[in-house]
Amino acid sequence: MSETELLLWVRGPALQIATAIFLLGIVVRIVEILMLGRKKNLAEARGSAVAGGLRTMFSRSIPDRGTLQRSMFNVVAGYVFHIGFFVVLFLFAPHILLFQDVTGVSWPALPTPVVDATAVVTMIALLAVLVHRLLNPVMRFLSRFQDYLVWLVTILPVVTGYLAFHRVDVVPPPTLIVVHILSVELLMVIFPFTKLMHAFTLFMARYYNGAIAGYKGVNS
Amino acid sequence: MSASLERGLNAFKEQIDAPVAAFFSSCVRCGLCAEACLFFTETSSPKYTPIHKLEPLRRVWKQEYTFWGRLAKSLGLSKPVTDAELTDWETLVYDSCTMCGRCSMVCPVGNDIAYMIRKMREGMAAAGHAPPDLIGATQRAVTIGSPMGVKLPALQAQIRHAEADLGFSIPVDVEGADYMLLLSSMEIMNFPEFISAIARIFKHANVSWTISSEAFEATNSGIQIGVSEIAAELVERIVTAAGKLKVKYVISPECGHAYMAVRWEGPNLIGRPYDFKVVHILELLDELREQGRLKTAGKETQRLTYHDPCQVARRGGVVQQPRNLLNMVAKDFVEMPETGTMNWCCGAGGGVSSNERADTLRLKTFNRKKKQLDAIHPDAIVSACSNCRIHLEDGLEEYGMDMPVLSLTETLAEHLAGSEQAGSKE
């Protein structure tokens, strides 16, 4: 297979397979959760479960003051790498072109130098998060193989994308792009089977949490 | 697999619902829940991280209710939950968790961890891994009617004492009364003044009420240990008595978990809605205040703070009422840092106080409350849960702090307008 053929395969069939696994996997996971159902609450409500649920879906994005004080690093580093990752993924012009190719939808990009700087910040934040996971006694205690795997699979697209953009000469440019796209496909493929699912299920979790509390008249 | 382990694992399976699956699917092992839990903050021991206390339940969820977990299980690739493991987890689930739900307020992905601990205890109890003291308390609740073994004659004796002090009678088994008052064993045995206080307030506000001689116990050991059948039976006793006396309301006393049990879990345990309403005593008192039926005179001059019992505030929704009431009688009411729904647990709820094995840990974690108190230096603490109250007294003594712990209801009773003050108080 020539380099061009490889690039075409990676951008074509491989991307389609990865997308299929990604989407199907997410649907299966969500259906698995919903199918378990939950019992109707027979206690007389004091507040609205739905309002509480919707409220907590958003309000939980902001940490309470005590948590912020006690876990400042964890919260800030977490915020930075999440926002950074989304900026690089969704606001980089070439990425938007790809999304437009696939979905027909387009949106304005951030200036490339801004995205470039964001990528650097994201990589630093991800490294910091890893070091924190290794050094913090609670996080080290809780961590499993999957946590490190997911970390690696998350940082790979950022690193390879950064190298590809800057045409770092470790390998010829087309190969860098191939590796970059493959790393994204790897992320998509493992997504439904790992904690990466939280990107979707956290809204369900927050809803349930807020609904349970809201029913009792508590803002959670 | 032993029969008891199988029972336990089946109970785990039965307990897992959509919220539990959403919660486990969302955990990213960030560890923020640890910093919300006084068992972690006061020991720095990572094993007390709230989400870790659920590990066996998580594995059952994964192996039974996810496609990949089931596949791995069928290929023999997953580690089954063992009896030895549940033995290890027993102390984590019962001794080092009060189900206070503070972690549930903090988790960034929104996991209601306390909700899951409550469920996990069902499986632990079914597998024979509940603490011996809680088993004893539960047996006493079923056979005697009270986890502390308090029988009707003991209550009758306290009522007679109270009546002698009050100079009027306390209604027992009065059919057609509006309100039926429940009591916790701890109130009957340790804080009988509570009964007189209620009687005085209700007389003052002209409330039609009664105590049932058949169902006066408010607490529910079945919930603490995690045996829903028993919890349901204890709730049924209250429902039957309320039906017999044809009351419109049942009052949950100054006890956190009793309120959660009878107000929020009760109808779900027995599988049908009540035909009466349940109110916490503070809700009722605040309602009386609003209606102008509760009038007070004079104010406490000492610096008072309010300790929110977890099951009354964070897990129960009664947050503003005690503040309204306290402001009626307190000149200098000051909040602790992190109060209301974010208050720190006293460290003794959820069955921890009935579990002697947990005593050392319970007192150690009281240091969290000490830090909260040290920030504001009150003269006295007011609360609305006799279990919190006993443990607060215990903890204050342990840490050499001289600070009375007051009941909000009793404090109000002492300031009733037009009453000839508490001269008759023992």
Residue B310's pLDDT is what?
Answer: 98
Closest Cα of chain A to B158: distance in Å?
Answer: 32
With contacts defined as CB-CB under 8 Å, which chain B residues touch A136?
31
What pLDDT band is residue B357 in, cutting at 50, 70 and 90?
A: very high
Closest Cα of chain A to B310: distance in Å?
Answer: 12
Nearest to B189 by CA among B146, B220, B222, B227: B146
CB B248 within 8 A of CB B210: no
Cα A68 to the chain's mean position, in Å? 22
CB half-sphere exposure, A1, CA atoms < 13 A: 10
How far is the C-alpha of A191 from the C-alpha of A148, rounded, in Å? Answer: 14
What pLDDT band is residue B420 in, cutting at 50, 70 and 90?
A: low
Q: Write the pLDDT tens digit of every residue in B128-186.
A: 999 999 999 999 999 999 999 899 999 999 999 999 999 999 999 999 999 999 999 99
Residues B119 and B72 in one domain: yes
Residue B159's pLDDT is what?
Answer: 97
Residues B164 and B227 in one domain: yes
Tell me the residues of chain A between 162 and 181 that have a Cβ less than 8 Å away from chain B: none
Residue B424's pLDDT is what?
Answer: 37
Residues B279 and B216 in one domain: yes
The answer to whether B260 faces chain A, any CB pair under 8 Å, is: no
Q: Residue B192 corresponds to which tokens in the numbers above?
A: 């009988």
Last residue of one domain, picked from the residues B130, B165, B196: B130
Residue A102's pLDDT is what?
Answer: 85
CB B308 within 8 A of CB B340: yes
A29–B29 C-beta distance less than 8 A: no
Residue A187's pLDDT is what?
Answer: 98
Residue A169's pLDDT is what?
Answer: 66
**Alpha helices, DSSP H, located in B54-112:** 55-65, 67-74, 83-90, 102-106
Residues B325 and B405 in one domain: yes
- In angstroms, the first-to-last Cα distance of chain B is 58
Residues B329 and B256 in one domain: no
B266–A212 C-beta distance less than 8 A: no
**For residues B59-87, average pLDDT:** 95
Residues B260 and B186 in one domain: yes
The overall longest dimension of chain B from CA atoms, in Å, is 77
Which CATH number fits the domain that encloses residue B284?
1.20.1050
Q: Residue B35 corresponds to which tokens in the numbers above?
A: 């910093």
A204–B22 C-beta distance less than 8 A: yes
Residue B419's pLDDT is what?
Answer: 66
Residue A122's pLDDT is what?
Answer: 98
Q: Write the pLDDT tens digit of every residue in A42-100.
A: 999 999 999 999 999 999 999 999 999 999 999 999 999 999 999 999 999 999 999 99
Neighbours of B186 (CB within 10 A): 25
Residue B270's pLDDT is what?
Answer: 98
Distances (CA, A) of B32 to A2, A25, B41, B271, B314: 49, 28, 11, 36, 18
Last residue of one domain, picked from the residues B234, B266, B289: B289
Residue A123's pLDDT is what?
Answer: 98
pLDDT at B421 over 80: no
With contacts defined as CB-CB under 8 Å, which chain B residues touch A78?
30, 108
Last residue of one domain, picked from the residues B130, B162, B182: B130
**For residues B258-280, average pLDDT:** 97
What pLDDT band is residue B342 in, cutting at 50, 70 and 90?
A: very high
B27–A220 C-beta distance less than 8 A: no
How far is the C-alpha of B211 from the C-alpha of B233, rounded, in Å? Answer: 19
Q: Write the pLDDT tens digit of every residue in B303-324.
A: 999 999 999 999 999 999 999 9
How far is the C-alpha of B343 from the C-alpha of B332, rounded, in Å? Answer: 19
Nearest to A46 by CA among B283, B317, B309: B317
Residues B141 and B120 in one domain: no
**For residues B99-112, average pLDDT:** 98
Substitution target from A142, A197, A215, A216 for chain B, most B beta carbons within 10 A: A142
Tell me the residues of chain B between 33 and 92 that have a Cβ less than 8 Å away from chain A: 34-36, 40-41, 44, 46-47, 49, 51-52, 65-68
With contacts defined as CB-CB under 8 Å, which chain A residues touch B34?
138
- A88 burial via Cβ count (<10 Å: 0-12, 13-18, 19+): buried
- B23 burial via Cβ count (<10 Å: 0-12, 13-18, 19+): buried
Residue B422's pLDDT is what?
Answer: 44
Q: Residue B329 corresponds to which tokens in the numbers above?
A: 């009688």
Give chain B's domain count.
Answer: 3
Nearest to B312 by CA among B367, B238, B248, B388: B388
pLDDT at B425 over 70: no
Residues B124 and B153 in one domain: no
pLDDT at B364 over 50: yes
B46–A39 C-beta distance less than 8 A: no
How far is the C-alpha of B341 from the C-alpha of B322, rounded, in Å? Answer: 13
CB B120 within 8 A of CB B54: yes
- What residue ranges of chain A have pLDDT lower than 70? 169-170, 173
Domain membership of residue B98 as a residue range: 3-130
Which CATH number fits the domain that encloses residue B325?
3.40.50
Q: Nearest chain B residue to A40 by CA: give it.
A: B268
Closest Cα of chain A to B100: distance in Å?
Answer: 13
Residues B148 and B283 in one domain: yes
Residue A173's pLDDT is what?
Answer: 66
Residues B30 and B71 in one domain: yes
Residues B259 and B192 in one domain: yes
pTM for the whole thing? 0.95
Compare CB distances from B317 to A46, A74, A209 and report the shortest one's residue: A46
- Per DSSP bridges, beta strands B249-252 and B179-181 are parallel
Chains A–B, number of C-beta pairs less than 8 Å apart: 176
Distances (CA, A) of B277 to A37, B25, B161, B243, B293: 27, 37, 30, 12, 20
How far is the C-alpha of B108 from the C-alpha of A59, rounded, in Å? Answer: 10
Residue A174's pLDDT is what?
Answer: 77
- Domains for chain A: give ranges and CATH numbers: 3-35+64-215 (1.20.950.20)
Q: Which helix (H) or strand (E) holds B305?
A: strand B300-307
A195–B22 C-beta distance less than 8 A: no
With contacts defined as CB-CB under 8 Å, which chain A residues touch B17?
36-39
Residues B248 and B330 in one domain: no
Substitution target from B45, B109, B314 for chain A, most A beta carbons within 10 A: B109
Which CATH number fits the domain that encloses residue B124?
1.10.1060
How far is the C-alpha of A218 from the C-alpha of B319, rounded, in Å? Answer: 9
Compare CB distances from B316 to A44, A141, A216 and report the shortest one's residue: A216
The overall longest dimension of chain A from CA atoms, in Å, is 69
